[in-house]
Structure 1
Amino acid sequence: MALSPLVSTQWLAEKLASPDIVVVNAWLPPVGKPNAEPEYRDGHIPGAIFFDVNAISDTTSDLPHMLPPAHVFSSMMRRLGIGDGQTIVVYDGVGLYSAARVWWMFRAMGVEQVFVLDGGLPKWREEGHPIEDMPPPPRGERHFTARLNNGLVANLDKVAQALTSGAQVLDARSRGRFAGTDPEPRAGLRSGHMPGALNLPFTELLDDGRMKPADELASAFDAASLDRSRPVITTCGSGVTAAILSLALAVTGHDKAPVYDGSWTEWGGRDDTPIATGEA
């Protein structure tokens, strides 16, 4: 099995002072609350770099927080003081939400030494590890080389081809949204799912903000009729919780599950894409 993409709070506490470790606080406001304040200002892991998923995105796209071009990502990381050769540990204030998206973004840009802090800030606080509420000292720019790994990114055409060929597409949205019985949180989107897609709500992979053990994750994938020996594309509402599926797959040894970046916001927002309703 490949090296786990998760690290524990104890591991990070022991490594926090290492100059090769860079801690990243992922942030994305909840859907419907675009003006929510980042928890970073109230307290964060010492030295953590604030990473705004909405700001570090393709600003030319009409879709939310799409992956930016590699040269743009490189420039943004240099300005944040993140460079080649560092070990990146990503966390968020929920426990496990936007951190998975940022983990996937770094991987899609060719970074291999990137991990997610299991349990995130809540577990870190609960265990009494240090917190600071002041911005860290400015970091000097570092050289960052981004090389887009197309094998980890799926677009609409790739997803449509996968569905036509019988390849696996796994949807992280709730069962009601997948079935089309619950409305989408974003206005203007049709309800339902991609014909042939499988459904595994991301919440079923988590326990109190932490990833479930690998054997329980494997059981959840089996229950969703997913064959982990075959390629799979993950999807969700806007490419965020899909990354939780890809992260969980990596925990079970399947570390090459691309995320459909546009996800349902793109697919359900068009009038030329097929939609099915009902359970998978």
Structure 2
Amino acid sequence: MNFSSSLITVKELNDNLSHQNLIILDCTIDKVGQSLQNEKLELIPNSRFFDLEGKFSDHTVNLPHTLVNEKTFSDEAQNLGINQDSIIVCYDRWGVYSSPRVWWMFKTMGYNNVYVLDGGLPSWIENNFETNSIYFQSTKKGDFTADFQEDWFADIQVMLNSINDRNKTIIDARSEGRFNGTSPEPRQGLRSGHIPNSKNLFFENVLDGTTLKSKTELKSIFEKLTNSTNENIFTCGSGITASILAFASTIAGFDNIKVYDGSWSEWGADENLPIE
């Protein structure tokens, strides 16, 4: 079974809950200044916890959420019981926030049968579908094997090579104030401003509350920023909301994408890198 779009509805998921290859991942992390840790834990049945900030982040570098290497990703995915033939559905308890980041991580690790649940847990609850409060623990190790795809990934050198390339569009998901340097950065020690020649699209502008805007609306948004032939490189504060834009752009038909993994947490901290 394959869903027809990378973005699936709660009804589509509910209709396929019994599929033997289905893996449901709760990809929730805290937002800046907001947490769900003290909230009652409600989950879609059979959810497995994807530890985005712990096991699936590289803690050898002083940056948040940095993508781990192939072996670590493979090992941790196998520990979740994920196989090469799994159908992976990512969701979060905010709506659409950190789930696109995990979608991008699997794509970057060479896995295509991965989807994002539109509206996440709030939409699931709104439709009166069943919930529980216990994570599913796999007793059997999976056979997932990562295969890193550099076409999905941007680092400092990629960014430096892209700044003056007219065939590439850099799009920053931070707020207008942070992009323009008129609002403070939430992380200490970072300069204010943005990567030269980048454009600004606040990630909330592709959302309609807890769900993604329609394909038609998204297409209209991205047409004003880029064109169908350009490679689009997304950045933000730490790589999370950049992934929301990256995912939204693929839904809109602009699917030549990269995410700058280090984002402003890396760029803004390096005095040798140019800013505007």
Q: 2:133 is paired with a residue of what secondary structure? A: coil
Select between 195-204 and 161-170 the one with higher mean Cα deviation.
161-170
Letter of the aligned partner of 2:274 in structure 1?
P
- Segments of 5+ residues of structure 2 without an aligned counterpart are none
The aligned residue for residue 99 of structure 1 is: 99
Letter of the aligned partner of 1:8 in structure 2?
T
Alignment of 1:201-216 (within 5 A): 201-216=202-217
Alignment of 1:193-232 (within 5 A): 193-223=194-224, 225-232=225-232
8 Å CA contact 1:27, 1:38 repeated in 2: no
How many matched pairs?
272
Structure 1 residue ranges (4+ consecutive) displaced by more than 4 angstroms after TM superposition: none
Are residues 1:161 and 2:161 paired?
Answer: yes
Cα displacement string for residues 63-89 of structure 1 (whole angstroms, at most 9, x for unaligned residues): 111000001100001111111111100
Select between 92-101 and 24-33 the one with higher mean Cα deviation.
24-33
Q: Distance in 1 between matches of 2:139 and 2:247?
A: 29
The aligned residue for residue 183 of structure 2 is: 182
8 Å CA contact 1:4, 1:250 repeated in 2: no
Letter of the aligned partner of 2:208 in structure 1?
D
Q: Distance in 2 between matches of 1:78 and 1:215?
A: 37
Cα displacement string for residues 102-140 of structure 1 (whole angstroms, at most 9, x for unaligned residues): 010011001100000000000000100010112325331
The aligned residue for residue 64 of structure 1 is: 64
Pair 135,7 (structure 1): closer, same or farther in 2 beyond 3 Å: same
Q: Distance in 1 between matches of 2:181 and 2:117?
A: 34
Are residues 1:143 and 2:152 paired?
Answer: no
Q: Distance in 2 between matches of 1:189 and 1:140?
A: 44
Please tell me the root mean square deviation across aligned C-alpha atoms, in Å: 1.6
Q: 2:89 is paired with a residue of what secondary structure? A: strand
* Percentage of pairs with the same residue: 39
Cα displacement string for residues 31-86 of structure 1 (whole angstroms, at most 9, x for unaligned residues): 246x75286x6110000110121111112111111000001100001111111111
8 Å CA contact 2:222, 2:252 repeated in 1: no
Q: 1:165 is paired with a residue of what secondary structure? A: coil
Q: How far off is 1:254 after superposition?
A: 2.4
